[in-house]
Amino acid sequence: MKNHTELQLLEKIKTGDKKAFRKIFQLYHQPLFRFTVSRVHDPDIASDIVQDSFVRVWKNRKYIQSKKSFFSYIATIASNLTKDHFRHQAVRQKHESQIESELYTAAENIENREEKEEIQKNILEAIHSHLPEKCRNIFILSRIEGLSSKEIADVMNLSVRTVENQLYRGLKILRNKLSKCL
């Protein structure tokens, strides 16, 4: 059975009370974070999912069923976002490796050394002229310096998810820009 204070907070949230929402956030943030990090095994990703879960609660506050368990409600949201994360990660990795393979295979298939050097020059030029600064820095750290997404996230003070999204974005831009010369 839900305590009276929580029931009141949820009713207030339904009417748009931000103070009540902050209190619910404070009550459930840590338990939801522990629940989520146990599934994704990455505090940065878990933090993003928890944040997104609370944002969804706020956006859909009119539909909160205050008589039902709030933790079950928000944990279900977090679980769905976790599933989405893993699906998105699998698709991104598939496309990223496919794009990367196309870029490097094209460069390796060139028999003439001068042509190889020209393509490498075009790739570097495309990296420096077509990628936005943050994307370019992440791309260089990953593909040239050989750092992992986690290492880049630590160095740049970003979430791993952001690093992976930027790498995917960079590969798409390069594929598009270099498709003519490859």
CA gap 93, 127 in Å, rounded: 20
Identify the DSSP state of 68. S
* Helix, coil or strand: residue 71: helix
Say whether both 11 and 72 belong to one domain. Answer: yes
What is the domain extent for residue 117?
A: 110-178
Is the per-residue pLDDT at 61 higher than 90? Answer: yes
Residue partners of 125: CB distance under 8 A and separation at least 6: none
CATH number (domain holding residue 74)? 1.10.1740.10
0.85 exceeded by the pTM?
no
* pLDDT at position 21: 95
Q: 39 falls in which pLDDT band (50, 70, 90)?
A: very high
> In angstroms, how far is CA 60 from the centroid of its own chain?
22
Do 32 and 76 fall into the same domain?
Answer: yes
- When divided into structural domains, the chain yields a total of 2
Last residue of a domain, one of 69, 84, 99: 84
* In 10-103, beta strands by DSSP E: none
Residue 78 CA to residue 48 CA, distance in Å, equals: 10
Q: What is the mean pLDDT of residues 132-137?
A: 87
Listed in sequence order, the DSSP H helices in the chain are 4-14, 18-40, 43-59, 70-108, 113-130, 133-139, 149-156, 160-178
- Residue 76 pLDDT class (50, 70, 90 cuts): very high
Contacts of 133 (CB under 8 A, 6+ apart): none
**Helices and strands per DSSP (H, E), number in the chain:** 8, 0
| Higher pLDDT pick, 158 / 122 | 158
Give mean pLDDT, residues 13-21.
Answer: 94
- pLDDT of 12 higher than 50: yes
Whether 58 is covered by a domain: the verdict is yes
Instruction: Specify the CATH number for the domain of residue 159.
Output: 1.10.10.10
DSSP string, 135-182: HHHHHIIIIIS---HHHHHHHHT--HHHHHHHHHHHHHHHHHHHTTT-
Lowest mean pLDDT among 28-37, 56-65, 106-115, 152-161: 106-115
Maximum mean pLDDT: which of 95-99, 107-111, 167-171, 176-180: 167-171
Q: pLDDT: is 117 or 111 the higher one?
A: 117
